[in-house]
Structure 1
């Protein structure tokens, strides 16, 4: 059994640990693929890409019957076995339907502010998904994606260990996300992280991230219907899956939920022998219109305060998250592509990667709160794109149209576009685009017809790339003298827009 040893780790917080790789490893074909391969960032990305599955499973995992927590020795089918190394990473484990990324980012920001003041934690790791602009966003240390050099070095250390001849004959390869998770754990251990915030991929009980046996604290954000093919069909089923991250002795926190899923969470907490606390929006949060202008962010922020506070108390009863830590954490909060604004000349851009009904409702409210607060109404443009085999784009667009109408923030001009970023066809090597089977022009035509039915007075157009959609909006701004543009519907769209608006 191969291993990656951390016995030389200079950080005294961690005892000697070993990353064991007993469940999946690499076949002879994958092993030969890396023979004599140069250790470059691009080659690491190419090897990682070979582990991407064509599509997610369509059959739901069981959500009733016997509780079956994931044994660390064999984990879920296809997930590498990890021994005591992960247990010593001081993990905050977060799941939910909407707000996971923001909650993780708030938690990181609070712990960072506390660390600056007290000296602990000094280094904070964050594992999250998906990425908007580059794959390294998924593995961050101290508020920055790891460098290309670190990504390359640690990727090949993991890859070559898994591809060792004594591994290749008896075991199978980890998939794309499982390999990224291994890379994140390996990176955090080698870099001496004091606290690691880990966001689930989706689900919880059968998520690869649930190899974490001893988190310091766990958290659940708002629940809703998403990934129903794997987790559904009801929100109670989804609550069962999400609460799979609860562990004995690790305090659990959840934002307030509807009665049905709340009951499921309480039952699961009792089964897992942990205390569950429901968190409402705090009425003592400082005023910050940039960060807390939308109610859901106040809720995510309140949950993060509880997670950070419980983490510090668990590590040292004398550690207390102060009001100054909270204030500075909020002031320094940032989360790429979520409730993000960019000012450019006379144009104001509002970007949110919402891609399910719940998140689109919240994004529409946030946009309306901002544009309706301006003294002089400006011309409004909506740029929308969503192409997925898992979600109904027509349903999402319908949700968005009704939400914008209800909040009196309907656009004057709607631009539908694709996930293709640049007009010349160039792409970034560390951003992979999954193109759906349904042709883009057909879907854009469907979206255009649908919007004209909703709001006949709106001007509707389509553009073949994100770059051309941005350019079209800028031309409109020039013609109208000013513009407020709302970019939403997909993380692919928002990531591409950000790379153009703020390279």
Structure 2
């Protein structure tokens, strides 16, 4: 097969499984310190095989350790915390020379797959992605592998992407690497990291309960699996139950855990800190960056200029993002669980209720998932907006399909819902009309159609404030239309 970017994407796509396994895990992983929790873990945990695959593609534990990793997990704010940490380290590196190269691995992507693997604020190029993908792929599928070896089993989609990130960062000789877990922690593929420099946990909430358990305590247990002996651990303040679990796990993992509250010394008026939860995420990231520099460059410190410039230069697409477009003002946030939807609603209300003139409000929403109840999310969002007396005048339910002509970028991850669009959207429509009979509710089979309709309404009403939320897949498609990549 020709080594091309398009072929790399096609091969990667073959590793995507059709659905999450339902059967409980039935064996013990040599990668895990304890037997697998069969009450929540289903199928083969993502961690299993990662250590062996890294060795097959030529990387030792010491090479992974040499990446100087900051490992971050949580329910809400993982991506933003990773991005703030990256921004602080990058700004510090530009001033002092260390870290010279900073890698960032996150998921999912919004506009293209290469967003998941970044170096110095930029997604890796198509050429680098292609070169390193085929290096990993060909080593993992080499015929000389022992046919009876356990490692003959091939990595799944997210495992392969994590392996590609490790390989890329090692080959590109980054001085620091920030890794976001996929979900969970204890059995997550990224937990092959044995010696992170520092670890962090963002706000915990009820999400991925089929894999992480039905309580905040069980979720806290899984997330704190990234704690490692000798690596300082930090967490934002949590509820008492999960906080106690985190403390116990820190003792078990032989590390020191520090709870972080919002840093009152952060700039008061910076637009990147206008949302309370972002101030908290930034505060956690600052502690992670400070500790990283203290441990890896003891003669240096993250100073006031690093902090100010790091916050000013922060960017994280699709999270509390505002796009001005003529008469329309788009509030774009990839909230997809109840905790984040409440925060998105508060952010939208705060920024629209302060307007001198009463502009039309429009909501564009989409959510299709096996893991989350979309009806619960719609109810949560309606309640949050209603509480502030800020119900939208128009509501548009749509899908994850991006363009009306069916085209999409070859490197854009697209999730096709199993539930037929008309069926679920009719449920959403009935639910919303039951909450607000005055709202004008419509459905669009594509994101492009929903945005076009919102623009038409905005033109008719001499301006509109438009909230786009419910899914990262929706937000990624919306950004491709509102702010297409060159």
Alignment TM class, shorter chain as reference: over 0.9
**C-alpha displacement at 1:69, in angstroms?**
2.6
Pairs within 5 Å for 1:256-275: 256-275=237-256
| 1:83-119 deviation per Cα after TM superposition (whole angstroms, max 9, x unaligned) | 3211111000000001000000000001111111111
Name the residue aligned to 2:214.
233
Whether the aligned pair in 2 keeps the contact of 1:239 and 1:261 (CA below 8 Å) is: yes
Q: Which one of 276, 285, 292 corresponds to residue 311 of structure 1?
A: 292
Pairs within 5 Å for 1:296-445: 296-445=277-426
Q: TM-score, normalised by structure 2?
A: 0.93
CA distance in 1, matches of 2:110, 2:21: 23
CA distance in 2, matches of 1:373, 1:147: 42
1:46 correspondence with 2:46: no
Name the residue aligned to 2:130.
152
Whether the aligned pair in 1 keeps the contact of 2:331 and 2:466 (CA below 8 Å) is: yes
Q: Any unmatched runs of 5+ in structure 2?
A: 36-44, 55-59
CA distance in 2, matches of 1:304, 1:58: 36
Name the residue aligned to 1:250.
231
1:473 correspondence with 2:437: no
Indicate the SS of the match to 1:460. strand
Whether the aligned pair in 1 keeps the contact of 2:48 and 2:189 (CA below 8 Å) is: no
Name the residue aligned to 1:18.
none
From the superposition, tell whether residues 94 and 360 of structure 1 become closer, same or farther in structure 2 (CA, over 3 Å).
same
Name the residue aligned to 1:167.
145
1:487 correspondence with 2:476: no
From the superposition, tell whether residues 471 and 236 of structure 1 become closer, same or farther in structure 2 (CA, over 3 Å).
same
Name the residue aligned to 1:140.
118
CA distance in 1, matches of 2:146, 2:180: 30
Give the RMSD, CA atoms, in angstroms.
Answer: 1.6
From the superposition, tell whether residues 177 and 75 of structure 1 become closer, same or farther in structure 2 (CA, over 3 Å).
closer
1:121 correspondence with 2:130: no
From the superposition, tell whether residues 285 and 411 of structure 1 become closer, same or farther in structure 2 (CA, over 3 Å).
same
Whether the aligned pair in 2 keeps the contact of 1:379 and 1:483 (CA below 8 Å) is: yes
Aligned pair count?
461
**C-alpha displacement at 1:346, in angstroms?**
1.2
CA distance in 1, matches of 2:92, 2:390: 39
**C-alpha displacement at 1:230, in angstroms?**
0.4
Q: Displaced runs of 4+ in structure 1, greater than 4 A?
A: 59-62
**C-alpha displacement at 1:427, in angstroms?**
1.4
Pairs within 5 Å for 1:96-107: 96-107=74-85
CA distance in 2, matches of 1:417, 1:48: 27
Name the residue aligned to 2:50.
79
CA distance in 2, matches of 1:273, 1:467: 51
CA distance in 1, matches of 2:101, 2:432: 48
Indicate the SS of the match to 1:165. coil
Q: Any unmatched runs of 5+ in structure 1?
A: 1-36
1:112 correspondence with 2:84: no
Name the residue aligned to 1:3.
none
From the superposition, tell whether residues 367 and 347 of structure 1 become closer, same or farther in structure 2 (CA, over 3 Å).
same
**C-alpha displacement at 1:56, in angstroms?**
2.0
**C-alpha displacement at 1:168, in angstroms?**
6.2
CA distance in 2, matches of 1:306, 1:58: 39
Whether the aligned pair in 1 keeps the contact of 2:415 and 2:473 (CA below 8 Å) is: no
CA distance in 2, matches of 1:412, 1:147: 42
Indicate the SS of the match to 2:72. strand
